[in-house]
């Protein structure tokens, strides 16, 4: 499936630098592999996010922050037709450079900045919407990340986290075989970086279940925390207010 999105990834500075470097290495082929390995389903998932938050995006007074934006695909999907101000942020410079290149082709381009998702350079209550697609699971501290997201959201602001999940039901074994054995080999062969695509299934395996993440959202001070399974549970959109 998609290559690992970025964010801030680990508990030590040394590990964070290592993973930042890994994301930088795969940046040139990141978009190609996202679409190829997901059979373009990743585009449909991003469209689900846009539809979910269309009411916020159509408000000219609203501000939306797309965290761990990588090369900016979700940022641009949010920006398309939006009246709100859109900001994309990521901690990996090579990924962000590619995002900025995409943004430059758009009228009233989204803003982009390099930032650590656990220490955002924004005042309290700065945004009406915060999103993250396939990058939240890489944070060193999920609860700290949720608290930081809540900090920068205005009262009544909304949160959307799009992440991979463990597939349940009859398709589970087949998907797990693809995800753990086929995808890493394909991704490694095309990108030339097997570490990044071995990291992906490992990071998904240790990510909280949808039910647990909803509980953590509530513990962080969010209300109406719930999730929507997408494509038989391959991905989930986690939503809170």
Residue 5 confidence (pLDDT) above 70: no
Residue 71 confidence (pLDDT) above 60: yes
84-105 mean pLDDT: 94
Residue 7 confidence (pLDDT) above 60: no
Residue 1 confidence (pLDDT) above 60: no
Residue 67 confidence (pLDDT) above 80: yes
What's the pLDDT at 221? 97
What's the pLDDT at 22? 66
What digits encode the pLDDT tens for the residues 26-63?
666 667 667 666 778 999 999 999 999 999 999 999 99
| CA dist., res. 216 & res. 161, Å (int) | 13
Lookup: tokens for 230: 């997408």
pTM: 0.89
> For the chain, how big is the Rg over CA atoms in Å?
17
Buried b (16+ CB within 10 A) or exposed e, 150-184: bbbbeeebbbbbbbbbbbeeeeeeebeebbeeebb
85-103 mean pLDDT: 94
| CA dist., res. 228 & res. 167, Å (int) | 13
Do residues 56 and 127 make contact, with C-beta atoms less than 8 angstroms apart?
Answer: no
67-72 mean pLDDT: 94
Q: How many CB atoms lie within 10 A of CB 144?
A: 15
- Which structural domains are found in the chain, ordered by start? 13-164+209-240 (3.40.50.150)
What digits encode the pLDDT tens for the residues 164-194?
998 888 888 888 888 888 888 888 887 787 8
What digits encode the pLDDT tens for the residues 110-167?
999 999 999 999 999 999 999 999 989 889 899 999 999 999 999 999 999 999 998 8
What digits encode the pLDDT tens for the residues 205-233?
899 999 999 999 999 999 999 999 999 89
Q: Per-residue confidence at 9, pLDDT binned at 50, 70, 90?
A: very low
Average pLDDT, the chain: 88
């Amino acid at each position: 499936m998609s290559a690992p999105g970025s964010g801030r990834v680990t508990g030590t500075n040394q590990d964070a630098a290592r993973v930042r470097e890994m994301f930088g290495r795969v940046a040139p082929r990141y978009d190609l592999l996202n679409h190829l390995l997901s059979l373009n389903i990743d585009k449909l998932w991003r469209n689900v996010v846009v539809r979910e938050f269309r009411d916020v995006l159509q408000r000219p007074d609203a501000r939306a922050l797309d965290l761990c934006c990588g090369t900016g695909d979700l940022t641009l999907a949010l920006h398309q037709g939006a009246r709100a101000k859109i900001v994309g942020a990521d901690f990996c410079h090579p990924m962000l450079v590619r995002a900025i290149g995409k943004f430059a082709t758009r009228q009233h381009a989204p803003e982009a900045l390099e930032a650590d998702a656990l220490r955002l350079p924004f005042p309290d209550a700065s945004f009406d919407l915060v999103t993250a697609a396939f990058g939240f699971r890489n944070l060193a501290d999920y609860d700290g990340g949720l608290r930081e997201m809540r900090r920068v959201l205005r009262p009544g602001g909304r949160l959307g986290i799009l992440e991979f999940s463990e597939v349940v039901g009859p398709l589970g074994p087949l998907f797990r075989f693809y995800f753990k054995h086929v995808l890493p080999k394909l991704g490694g062969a095309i990108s030339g970086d097997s570490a990044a695509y071995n990291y992906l299934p490992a990071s998904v395996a240790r990510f909280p279940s949808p039910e647990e993440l909803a509980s953590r959202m509530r513990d962080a001070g969010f209300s109406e925390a719930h999730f929507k399974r997408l494509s038989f549970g391959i991905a989930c959109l986690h939503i809170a207010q």
